[in-house]
Amino acid sequence: MKSEPARRARLRTLAAVAAAAVVLPAAAACGSDNGDGGKDGKGEKNNSLVVYSGRDEALVAPLLKDLEKETGLKVEVRYGDTAELAAQILEEGDRTKAGLFFAQDGGALGALSKEGVLDKLPQKSLDKVDAKYRGGKDDWVGVSGRSRVVIYNTDKVAEKDLPKSVHELTDAKWKGKVGYAPTNASFHAFVTAMRVSEGEKKTRDWLTAFKANSPKVYEKNGAVRDGVDAGEASLGLINHYYWFEKRKEVGEDKLNSKLHFLPGSDPGALVNVAGVGVLKGGQSEAGRKAVDFLLGKDAQTYFAKETSEYPLVAGVTSPVEGLPALNTLGGPDIDLSELDSLEKTLELLKDVGMV
């Protein structure tokens, strides 16, 4: 049996811990009220940068190490889901800790741009990238590109039977055979592109007919790819690099699928971008340095090699085997900044019952 004083001492410790757990946050909260802006983590030093990255750590981490080496910036990264990080930045408001937002897609950058939390980028940086691949308000820029493609199972579909347009996917012969990820941002971008290039009505009709053709619903592009590769679906709508990733993972001989790049101005051949925006506030100078680094030749080549995405800066070509050149790709003739009309797309998707 424990002695009474020992038990008391233990309880006192417990009580102290409990009290600390309660008092500390409260004290900190009071402290913040009279805090001066300069201590808010943002802009503490000119040479530190906090990056919120919606892009995968495995892809981005080595690159940001090089960024540190090259620019002398001290870089801290938070990884997360692109949209969740965008929501986080919006909740943080002008007290955001982020200096640079590295987004998986233009839509999230568009949403931040619309709320006015992004800084304008210098023209010299913007000019490195074709106007097709940057934001309309000059406050974000694409750093790598990806094409929407049709993936097909080579046991189930012969090359000659492949569709020439997403519009053929509503045909009865593909009933129940197409996999897609209706909640995925890339799919939303594709639908938005269709809305912008072909109009509201045509898009609604296509969505309705496509849904009536009983496509298989998946969570993400990766799952669509795996589903097609396993023969669950014959065709799938994904981004090109998912297939190249899988090829790296298991080797081409273990794959039962191939990619089909749709020709012409088909929205199913949309080239979308991953991009960056600099947040307004004390870190904007560091942020701009990082943007220039990401648009430099080394970073561009790195993306091409590691992620199988397209480099966007003129003069850098992709070394990936089996990848058609960027300028040979089709896709709708639209301004990517119009892809920020995502809400209308979502209303449409809700109306037809897809999300």
Nearer to another protein by Cβ, of 58 and 314: the residue is 58
Q: In this chain, which stretch among 72-80, 117-125, 128-136, 287-295 interacts with another protein, using CB under 8 A?
A: 72-80
14 binds another protein (CB under 8 A): yes
Q: Binding of another protein at residue 185 (CB under 8 A)?
A: yes
322 Rama class: left (phi>0) / alpha (psi -120 to 50) / beta: left
Residues 187-216 that bind another protein (CB under 8 A): 188
Beta strand extents in 42-137 (DSSP E only):
48-53, 74-79, 100-103
What's the token pair of residue 143? 């750093």
Is residue 203 a contact partner of residue 194, using CB atoms and an 8 Å limit?
yes
CB of 55 to another protein, least distance (A): 9
242 is in an annotated binding site: yes
In the bound state with another protein, the residue whose beta carbon lies nearer, of 93 and 315, is: 93
Greatest extent of the chain over all pairs of C-alpha atoms, in Å: 86
How far apart are CB 308 and another protein at their closest, in Å?
12
Q: Does 219 bind another protein (CB under 8 A)?
A: yes
One of 43, 222, 296, 324 touching another protein (CB under 8 A):
222
Other CB atoms within a 10 A radius of the CB of residue 30 amount to 10
Task: Residue 99: name the closest of 69, 134, 67 by CA.
Answer: 67
Q: Give 4 or 159: the residue with its C-beta nearer to another protein.
A: 4
Question: Pairing relation of β-strands 257-260 and 140-153?
Answer: antiparallel
CB of residue 233 to another protein, shortest distance in Å? 10
Count of residues of this chain found to bind another protein when the rule CB under 8 A is applied = 66
**90 near another protein (CB under 8 A):** yes
Q: Which of residues 278-317 bind another protein (CB under 8 A)?
A: none
Please list every residue from 51 through 70 that binds another protein, using CB under 8 A.
Answer: 56-59
**Closest distance of CB 265 from another protein, Å:** 25
Q: In the range 100-159, which residues lie near another protein by CB under 8 A?
A: 107-108, 111
Answer for the pair 187, 346: CB distance below 8 angstroms, yes or no.
no
φ/ψ (deg, to 5) at 277: -135, 150
User: What b/e readout covers 2-25, taking b as 16+ CB neighbours within 10 angstroms?
Assistant: eeeeeeeeeeeeeeeeeeeeeeee
E strands, 256-348, in order = 257-260, 271-278, 310-311
DSSP state of 105: S
Q: What are phi and psi of 233, to 5 degrees?
A: -125, 155
In angstroms, the CA 145 to CA 140 distance is 14
The answer to whether residue 252 forms part of the interface with another protein (CB under 8 A) is no
Asked if 334 touches another protein (CB under 8 A), the answer is: no
**Alpha carbons 212 and 354: distance in angstroms, whole number:** 11
Residue among 183, 208, 213, 265 that touches another protein (CB under 8 A): 183
Ligand-binding site membership of 218 (annotated): no
Residue 5 interacts with another protein (CB under 8 A): yes or no: no
Binding-site sequence positions for Fe cation: 241-242
Residues of this chain that bind another protein (CB under 8 A): 7, 11, 14, 17-18, 21-22, 24-25, 28-29, 31-32, 35, 40, 50, 56-59, 76-81, 83-84, 86-88, 90-93, 95, 97, 107-108, 111, 183, 185, 188, 217-219, 222-223, 226-227, 230, 232, 242, 245-246, 248-251, 342-343, 346, 349-350, 353, 355
